[in-house]
Amino acid sequence: MRRWTLRGWTLLWLALVWILLWGTVSVANILSGLAIALLITVLLPLPAVPVEGRLRPWSFVVLAAYVSWSLVVSSTQVAWLAVKPGPLPPTAVLRAHLNIKSDLVLALAVNVINLIPGSIVLEIDQTRRLIYVHVIDVGSQRAVDRFYRQTSTVERLMVAAFERDADWQGVRA
Protein backbone atom coordinates (compact mmCIF):
# COMPACT_ATOMS: atom_id res chain seq x y z
CA MET A 1 0.00 0.00 0.00
CA ARG A 2 2.80 2.42 0.92
CA ARG A 3 4.60 1.68 -2.34
CA TRP A 4 1.53 2.47 -4.44
CA THR A 5 0.85 5.62 -2.47
CA LEU A 6 4.40 6.84 -3.11
CA ARG A 7 4.07 6.06 -6.81
CA GLY A 8 0.81 7.97 -6.95
CA TRP A 9 2.37 11.01 -5.27
CA THR A 10 5.33 10.81 -7.65
CA LEU A 11 3.00 10.79 -10.66
CA LEU A 12 1.02 13.72 -9.32
CA TRP A 13 4.17 15.68 -8.48
CA LEU A 14 5.68 15.15 -11.94
CA ALA A 15 2.38 16.08 -13.58
CA LEU A 16 2.25 19.26 -11.48
CA VAL A 17 5.79 20.16 -12.56
CA TRP A 18 4.75 19.60 -16.19
CA ILE A 19 1.73 21.89 -15.78
CA LEU A 20 3.87 24.56 -14.11
CA LEU A 21 6.40 24.37 -16.95
CA TRP A 22 3.65 25.02 -19.50
CA GLY A 23 2.20 27.80 -17.39
CA THR A 24 -1.48 27.05 -17.92
CA VAL A 25 -3.87 24.58 -16.37
CA SER A 26 -5.82 22.80 -19.08
CA VAL A 27 -7.18 19.33 -19.65
CA ALA A 28 -4.53 18.74 -22.31
CA ASN A 29 -1.71 19.80 -19.98
CA ILE A 30 -3.06 17.66 -17.14
CA LEU A 31 -3.43 14.56 -19.33
CA SER A 32 -0.10 15.04 -21.09
CA GLY A 33 1.56 15.69 -17.71
CA LEU A 34 0.20 12.43 -16.32
CA ALA A 35 1.26 10.59 -19.49
CA ILE A 36 4.80 12.02 -19.34
CA ALA A 37 4.99 11.27 -15.60
CA LEU A 38 3.92 7.67 -16.20
CA LEU A 39 6.45 7.35 -19.01
CA ILE A 40 9.25 8.73 -16.82
CA THR A 41 8.47 6.48 -13.87
CA VAL A 42 8.23 3.35 -16.06
CA LEU A 43 11.23 3.98 -18.33
CA LEU A 44 13.51 5.74 -15.81
CA PRO A 45 12.70 4.27 -12.41
CA LEU A 46 14.66 5.50 -9.42
CA PRO A 47 16.31 2.92 -7.18
CA ALA A 48 14.44 2.09 -4.02
CA VAL A 49 15.51 4.14 -1.01
CA PRO A 50 15.30 2.29 2.29
CA VAL A 51 13.00 4.26 4.57
CA GLU A 52 12.83 3.40 8.25
CA GLY A 53 11.39 5.11 11.25
CA ARG A 54 8.40 7.36 11.52
CA LEU A 55 7.69 10.99 11.05
CA ARG A 56 7.15 12.66 14.41
CA PRO A 57 4.73 15.52 13.63
CA TRP A 58 5.57 17.74 16.60
CA SER A 59 9.34 17.28 16.11
CA PHE A 60 8.85 18.04 12.42
CA VAL A 61 7.02 21.28 13.29
CA VAL A 62 9.90 22.26 15.59
CA LEU A 63 12.39 21.45 12.79
CA ALA A 64 10.41 23.51 10.27
CA ALA A 65 10.21 26.44 12.70
CA TYR A 66 13.95 26.30 13.38
CA VAL A 67 14.80 26.14 9.67
CA SER A 68 12.43 29.04 8.92
CA TRP A 69 13.97 31.17 11.66
CA SER A 70 17.49 30.25 10.51
CA LEU A 71 16.63 31.26 6.96
CA VAL A 72 15.54 34.71 8.13
CA VAL A 73 18.52 35.26 10.42
CA SER A 74 21.10 33.88 7.97
CA SER A 75 19.66 35.80 5.03
CA THR A 76 19.87 39.00 7.04
CA GLN A 77 23.47 38.26 8.03
CA VAL A 78 24.52 37.45 4.46
CA ALA A 79 22.74 40.56 3.15
CA TRP A 80 24.59 42.68 5.70
CA LEU A 81 27.91 41.12 4.67
CA ALA A 82 27.12 41.99 1.05
CA VAL A 83 26.40 45.69 1.67
CA LYS A 84 28.62 46.62 4.59
CA PRO A 85 31.74 48.57 3.73
CA GLY A 86 35.13 47.03 4.23
CA PRO A 87 36.93 43.89 3.19
CA LEU A 88 35.17 40.65 2.42
CA PRO A 89 34.77 38.33 5.40
CA PRO A 90 37.06 35.30 5.63
CA THR A 91 35.62 31.99 4.49
CA ALA A 92 36.63 28.42 5.27
CA VAL A 93 35.77 24.81 4.63
CA LEU A 94 34.76 23.22 7.93
CA ARG A 95 34.23 19.55 8.68
CA ALA A 96 31.31 18.35 10.79
CA HIS A 97 30.33 14.89 11.95
CA LEU A 98 26.65 13.92 11.86
CA ASN A 99 25.30 11.07 13.99
CA ILE A 100 22.56 10.22 11.54
CA LYS A 101 21.97 6.56 10.68
CA SER A 102 19.71 6.78 7.65
CA ASP A 103 21.08 7.83 4.27
CA LEU A 104 17.75 9.47 3.50
CA VAL A 105 17.80 11.56 6.68
CA LEU A 106 21.46 12.43 6.02
CA ALA A 107 20.47 13.70 2.57
CA LEU A 108 17.63 15.73 4.11
CA ALA A 109 19.99 17.22 6.71
CA VAL A 110 22.49 18.19 4.00
CA ASN A 111 19.69 19.87 2.05
CA VAL A 112 18.62 21.83 5.13
CA ILE A 113 22.21 22.97 5.71
CA ASN A 114 22.44 23.99 2.04
CA LEU A 115 19.19 25.96 2.29
CA ILE A 116 20.51 28.12 5.10
CA PRO A 117 22.36 31.05 3.49
CA GLY A 118 26.06 31.39 4.15
CA SER A 119 26.92 27.70 3.92
CA ILE A 120 27.07 25.05 1.23
CA VAL A 121 27.97 21.40 1.63
CA LEU A 122 30.85 20.56 -0.69
CA GLU A 123 31.37 16.90 0.10
CA ILE A 124 29.72 14.10 2.04
CA ASP A 125 31.75 11.21 3.44
CA GLN A 126 28.88 8.78 3.67
CA THR A 127 30.68 5.97 5.46
CA ARG A 128 32.17 8.16 8.21
CA ARG A 129 29.17 10.54 8.27
CA LEU A 130 31.32 13.61 7.74
CA ILE A 131 30.32 16.66 5.77
CA TYR A 132 32.63 19.35 4.46
CA VAL A 133 30.92 22.72 4.36
CA HIS A 134 32.06 26.02 2.84
CA VAL A 135 31.09 28.70 5.34
CA ILE A 136 31.04 32.47 4.88
CA ASP A 137 32.24 34.74 7.68
CA VAL A 138 34.44 32.60 9.90
CA GLY A 139 36.57 35.51 11.08
CA SER A 140 36.23 34.63 14.75
CA GLN A 141 36.02 31.57 16.95
CA ARG A 142 32.50 32.69 17.86
CA ALA A 143 31.44 32.46 14.20
CA VAL A 144 32.98 28.99 13.87
CA ASP A 145 31.24 27.87 17.06
CA ARG A 146 27.95 29.25 15.70
CA PHE A 147 28.34 27.04 12.60
CA TYR A 148 28.97 23.92 14.70
CA ARG A 149 26.05 24.77 17.00
CA GLN A 150 23.78 25.25 13.99
CA THR A 151 24.90 21.96 12.45
CA SER A 152 24.38 20.01 15.67
CA THR A 153 20.94 21.60 16.11
CA VAL A 154 19.92 20.56 12.59
CA GLU A 155 21.23 17.05 13.31
CA ARG A 156 19.38 16.81 16.64
CA LEU A 157 16.11 18.06 15.14
CA MET A 158 16.37 15.73 12.12
CA VAL A 159 16.94 12.73 14.37
CA ALA A 160 14.02 13.77 16.60
CA ALA A 161 11.72 14.21 13.60
CA PHE A 162 12.72 11.20 11.51
CA GLU A 163 14.85 8.56 13.20
CA ARG A 164 14.64 7.43 16.78
CA ASP A 165 16.76 4.51 17.95
CA ALA A 166 13.65 2.53 18.88
CA ASP A 167 12.47 2.67 15.25
CA TRP A 168 15.81 1.93 13.63
CA GLN A 169 16.19 -1.58 12.18
CA GLY A 170 18.86 -1.08 9.51
CA VAL A 171 22.57 -1.56 9.63
CA ARG A 172 24.69 1.20 8.17
CA ALA A 173 27.30 -0.03 5.69
Where is 133: in which H helix or E strand?
A: strand 130-136
7-64 per-position pLDDT tens digit: 888 899 999 999 999 999 999 999 999 999 999 988 888 777 666 667 889 999 999 9
Model confidence at 101, pLDDT cuts 50, 70, 90, reads confident
Residue 173: predicted pLDDT: 42
Please determine, for residue 103, whether its predicted confidence score (pLDDT) is greater than 90. Answer: no
| Dist CA 172 CA 108 (whole Å) | 17
In whole angstroms, give the CA distance from residue 121 to residue 107. Answer: 11
Torsion angles phi and psi, residue 48, rounded to 5: -70, 135
Total residue length of the chain? 173
Please give the residue that has the higher pLDDT: either 168 or 74.
74
Write down the pLDDT at residue 88. Answer: 85
DSSP per-residue string spanning 80-130: HHHHSSSSPPPEEEEEEE-----HHHHHHHHHHHHHSTTEEEEEEETTTTE
The CB density around residue 109, as the number of other CB atoms within 10 Å, is 24
- Asked whether the beta carbons of 81 and 91 are under 8 A apart, the reply is no
Mean pLDDT is lowest, of 4-8, 48-52, 88-92, 161-165, for 48-52
Task: Answer whether 147's CB lies under 8 Å from 138's CB.
Answer: yes
Burial of 15 (0-12, 13-18, 19+ CB in 10 A): buried
Alpha-carbon dihedral sign for residues 151, 116, 103, 164: positive
Tens-place pLDDT, residues 117-143: 889 999 999 899 999 999 998 889 998
Phi, psi (rounded to 5 degrees) for 163: -145, 105
Q: What is the pLDDT of residues 145-159, one digit of tens each?
A: 999 999 999 999 999
